[in-house]
Amino acid sequence: MKQAYFYGTRLGRIGIAGEGDYVTNIFFGGTVRPESFEERETPLLKRAAEEIKEYLDRKRMMFDIPLLPAGTEFERAVWDALLEIPFGETRTYGQIAERIGRPKACRAVGRANGRNPISILIPCHRVIGAGGALTGYAGGLDMKRELLDIEKISCKETCGRVQKTL
């Protein structure tokens, strides 16, 4: 059974779940919650919380936590592509679709992005709409803006920071 624990952050209460040696879920707002879990802090969850706090405090740009997101093969391909987006940069849904070899699957990429069970660590907040539009985020657009701000990406600058090729 998964263990999960809740931590207070500058963004509000965040749940972190894991199983064995892997983080399986980060959840807040409308993000993906595990179906069931035992509420218990583990060393892995505590370490993940510390890394997230460092990230939110602008002291960390990369995470060292082992991840195990549950999803379809397509979803995992999308999430792997999200992990390739560097800190401080964004990609569009279309660019992610191209990256995974499915250039016409923009909407499916959007659905997979919304089903990301490990938000923040798998940076779905770095995905924006065509032309730099700030689009939906399961944690809410205010949360997405805050995460982009942490990475010094303003919504107005986003268009210029989107990589033209992957």
Q: Per-residue DSSP letters for 108-137?
A: HHHHHHHT-SBBTTB-GGGEE-GGG-----
Model confidence at 91: pLDDT above 90: yes
Residues 77 and 147 in one domain: yes
pLDDT of residue 76: 98
Model confidence at 164: pLDDT above 60: no
Contact 65, 48 (CB under 8 A): yes
Tell me the three state secondary structure of residue 69.
Answer: coil
Find the CATH number of the domain harbouring 118: 1.10.10.10
Report if residue 62 sits inside a domain.
no
Edge-to-edge strands of the sheet including 3-9? 22-27, 12-19, 3-9, 38-39
Report if residue 106 sits inside a domain.
yes
Report if residue 24 sits inside a domain.
yes
Residues 108 and 50 in one domain: no
Report if residue 123 sits inside a domain.
yes
pLDDT of residue 160: 38
Report if residue 89 sits inside a domain.
yes
Mean per-residue pLDDT of the chain:
89
pLDDT of residue 61: 93
pLDDT of residue 158: 42
Q: Which two tokens stand for residue 140?
A: 């809410």
Q: From CA 2, how far away is CA 158, in angstroms rounded? A: 37
Residues 50 and 111 in one domain: no
> Domain of 142?
73-161
Model confidence at 156: pLDDT above 80: no
pLDDT of residue 32: 77
Q: Which residues are catalytic?
A: 124
Reported as a single tens digit per residue, the pLDDT across 8-47 is 998 899 999 999 999 999 998 777 788 889 999 999 999 9
Residues 47 and 87 in one domain: no
Q: How many domains does the chain have?
A: 2
Q: Write phi, then psi, for 39 (nearest 5 degrees).
A: -80, 105
Residues 86 and 41 in one domain: no
Q: From CA 52, how far away is CA 3, in angstroms rounded? A: 18
Question: Is the backbone of residue 29 left (phi > 0), alpha (psi -120 to 50) or beta?
Answer: left
Q: From CA 33, how far away is CA 26, in angstroms rounded? A: 8
Amino acid code (one letter) for 17: A
Global pTM value: 0.88
Question: Burial, 1: exposed, middle or buried (Cβ in 10 Å; 0-12, 13-18, 19+)?
Answer: exposed
Residues 83 and 119 in one domain: yes
